[in-house]
Structure 1
Amino acid sequence: MHAAVHYASPLDRETVGPHPCFARRHARAKRNVRRAASFAGTVPLLVRARRKRPDARKRRVNAGCYFFKEDWPKMPTTDYARNEAFTPLLSYMEQLHRTAGATASALIVLQKGSTIAQWKSGAHHHKSGARPIASDSLFNVYSVRKTYIGLALAIALAENDIDPDNPVSRFISDMTEDELGSLSVKDLALKRGPKHFGEKRLEKEGLIGKIVFALTGRTIARLLTETVLDPLGFAETSWAAVPHERLVCDYTSQDRYPSVRIESDEGHERNLYVSARDLARWGQLHIENGFADGRPIVSEKTFELINELKRTAPAGKPAFGWHSEDGLFQVTGYTGCHVTVLPSLHAVGVRMLNNWDLPGPFVREDYDNEIRAFNNILIHCLKQTSL
């Protein structure tokens, strides 16, 4: 095991170097990211050194810098669409790919609906025979799914002229008022109230699924598929109920083995798999307030409701799944999949990871800082394209 290394720059306060076969590329990426940080005003990617682990067998097996030579996966060559203005962001993603222990990563940036930068690297897991990352690879986006659930709720409310201040108990007949309390539909949209409800310990997303079905007669997945996804031609968005080769494995299981998550196809569970390009177009739909190519996909009334709750949401609280701050709105999933929507720049930035395990003990601020760094470099690169 290498000894931990401390660097003068906070951005470089990293642990051991990567496997020797990546050493030169790793050093070059760090230099590029340092340059990006100097002019983009970013915050540190890594702010704590990894604790020395007494037993190498207890390491997280997918964390790249701790693979033994014989374990190191044979990664396909990185593939990207060259755009010199985005070199700092591509370098940042290359470093994050290794540092976060990901085996598969992707990036796509849209501006005014057109792709201006694209990058992908790795394979669906770290074992021999893994499928190389491709444009149609589908990542489990975890909490990013809440923006899909949120849109389904907003559509159901708008179509039926329902005031979100109505109590949830009005729409759910198989749970008692004692189980639901005074919870309102707006509380669900703003993620307020208890985490679990009733004997089955349903989460808020499960309650939203019940409300959507009560109001529309359709599940979340069916409502979105029929009203949004199919009209837009989204062929790379799936609530995975059956495993298939396009699903990217992640490392969220307790034993840290690469796995995929299979659940129902109803739309409220943690099994939404999406490609980077479909997710970018999802963000674009929100920039355009429900329009695509000049035609309405989602009603104006629906987005009036969404935007009103975004404006009035308490600080730090999401509205229909989106967190708003400083002229942007964004959402992040458990493994590091992230969408940044920048209305003033008419741009969407999407990055995909299948693992997001920054060095050191878990500190929420480190992960928040990493997202800010990504956003800052993204914004800088977008502004460079307009010079």
Structure 2
Amino acid sequence: MKDRIAASAAAVCVMKDNEIIHEWYSGNHHFHNGARKVDEFSQFNVYSTRVTYVGLAAAIAIYDGVIKSLDEPISNYLKNYDLNILGITTIRHLVTRTTGLQFQGNEVVVRKFAEGTSFEGKKPEVLAEIIKKATGKTVAEIITERVFKPLGFTQTEWRTEGKETLVCDINDPNSYPVLRLESNEGSDRNLYVTARELALWGNLHLNKGAFKGEQILPKELFENVTSIMTPNTLPVHLPRLGYFWWIQDKNVTNSEIGPDLPEGTYQILGASGCSCTVIPKHKAVVVRMTNSLWTFGGKNGFDYIADIQKFGNLVEQVLNEY
């Protein structure tokens, strides 16, 4: 698949029963001469996979009582927008991608559909703004303090400048490789992670906040993050989400999760092909990394969703055999 999507780099990391049981690394950080070989220290830009970090920061703020609840109206924080248009839209609608809103700049918002009635693109930057107003801290500050430091993470970073271990994005196999370097506040598309640390991120969720016998964050918090939080008003065939995690639900016909994966599986996928799949039934986490944007969104005849579903089905097959 790495070759099919014109990626220069790929990795797989599988955890089961809290241990890494398989790792695989292939390729180089880009296609040009002098490119660094991919290894366990290679940090991939995980793109939309980053939204689970924003979601956990929101869950922490809610658990701490700084944000009142998942059903608190976003109008309590976004005073610069038309409050009539924001209406009764809540933080629940934000984390489950059902707001019906389109934000245009810092002051203009347009309603596209009634909240909780259809599915939309992600808005992590809006949630991050709410978190910052509620807590006085950025997403990155909250997650670094409450997760990265206790777990000893050093290779999960919102990068503002380049370094040797960053894997480049491939927009086209014949063009120059690029790095996406943006704000270090925690909601932009510049989160670089190794395959191992993304697997450990998924495993922290699998263990409901426990790490090496110590409860790093409350169990209840993770139970909420990885359970269906989508409002009941959403048509049953549309995706069910926790705090941005896609949750396996057999009633859903429009999902990125492979249909063979069991109920309770949750997953997140990024534009470059990076994904983290957590399967409680198997006590397993499976991470895959690639660095290509060449086929994203159906470009160059590639079915992005069919690919991740096929990968998920393969994961289920392999874990059953294991």
TM over 0.5: yes
Deviation at 1:181, TM superposition (A): 3.9
Alignment of 1:348 with 2:271, yes or no, is no
Separation in structure 2 between the aligned mates of residue 285 and residue 251 of structure 1, nearest angstrom:
30
Query: Partner residue of 1:273?
Result: 192
1:228 matched residue in structure 2: 147
- Structure 1 CA distance, aligned partners of 2:18 and 2:301? 33
* Separation in structure 2 between the aligned mates of residue 165 and residue 354 of structure 1, nearest angstrom: 36
State how far apart, in whole Å, the 2-side matches of 1:267 and 1:359 are.
23
What's the CA shift for 1:353?
0.1
Match of 1:183 among 86, 89, 95: 89
Q: Which residue of 2 aligns with 1:93?
A: none
TM-score by length of 2: 0.82
State the AA in 1 paired with 2:74.
V
Q: Which residue of 1 aligns with 2:180?
A: 261
Task: State the Cα deviation string for residues 17-49 of structure 1 (Å, max 9, x = none).
Answer: xxxxxxxxxxxxxxxxxxxxxxxxxxxxxxxxx
Question: CA 1:274–1:370 in 2, change beyond 3 Å: closer, same or farther?
Answer: same
| Matches of 2:296 and 2:182, distance apart in 1 | 31
1:145 aligned residue (50, 62, 71): 50
User: What residue number does 2:124 align with?
Assistant: 205
Q: Please list the CA deviations of residues 91-136 of structure 1 after superposition, one character each: whole Å capped at 9, or x if unmatched.
A: xxxxx11111110000010001111111001111000011111211
Letter in 1 for 2:241: P
Letter paired with 2:207: E
Query: AA paired with 1:163?
Result: S
For the Cα contact (< 8 Å) 1:180–1:198, is it kept in 2?
no
The corresponding residue for 1:375 is 312
The answer to whether the 8 A contact 1:99-1:358 is kept is: no
Contact 2:296 2:304 (C-alpha < 8 Å) held by counterparts = no
- 2:247 is equivalent to residue 324 of structure 1: yes
Measure the CA separation in 2 of the matches of 1:198 and 1:101.
33
**Is the alpha carbon distance of 1:169 and 1:294 closer, same or farther for their aligned partners in structure 2, counting shifts above 3 Å?**
same
Cα deviation for residue 358 of structure 1 reads 5.2
Structure 2 match to 1:171: 77
Take 2:230 and 2:297, find their aligned partners in 1: how far apart are those partners?
A: 36
Aligned to 2:117: none
Question: How far did residue 305 of structure 1 move?
Answer: 2.7
Query: Unpaired segments of 5 or more residues in structure 1?
Result: 1-95
Alpha-carbon contact 2:49-2:269 (below 8 Å) kept: yes
Aligned to 2:204: 285
Residue 20 of structure 2 corresponds to: 115
Shift of 1:158: 1.4
Partner SS state of residue 250, structure 1: coil
> Could you tell me which of 53, 58, 62 is aligned with 1:157?
62
Contact preservation (8 Å) 2:272, 2:293: yes
Report which stretch shifted further, 298-307 or 330-339.
298-307
Output the CA distance in 2 between the equivalents of 1:215 and 1:360: 34
Unaligned runs of 5+ in 2: 110-121, 249-261
Indicate the SS of the match to 1:146: helix
Residue 367 (structure 1) shift: 2.0
Counterpart of 1:382 in 2: which secondary structure? helix
Q: Which one has the largest radius of gyration? A: 1
Structure 2 vs 1, CA of residues 209 and 289 (structure 1 numbering), >3 Å: closer, same or farther? same
**What displacement does 1:182 show?**
3.3
Q: Secondary structure at the match of 2:247?
A: strand
Q: Is the 8 A contact 2:227 2:247 kept in 1?
A: no
RMSD: 2.6
Measured in 1, the distance between the counterparts of 2:181 and 2:307 equals: 29
Q: Residue 258 of structure 2 corresponds to which residue in structure 1?
A: none
Describe the superposition over 1:170-220 as per-residue Cα deviations: whole angstroms up to 9, x where unpaired.
123444425634321111111112463253379721221122112222100
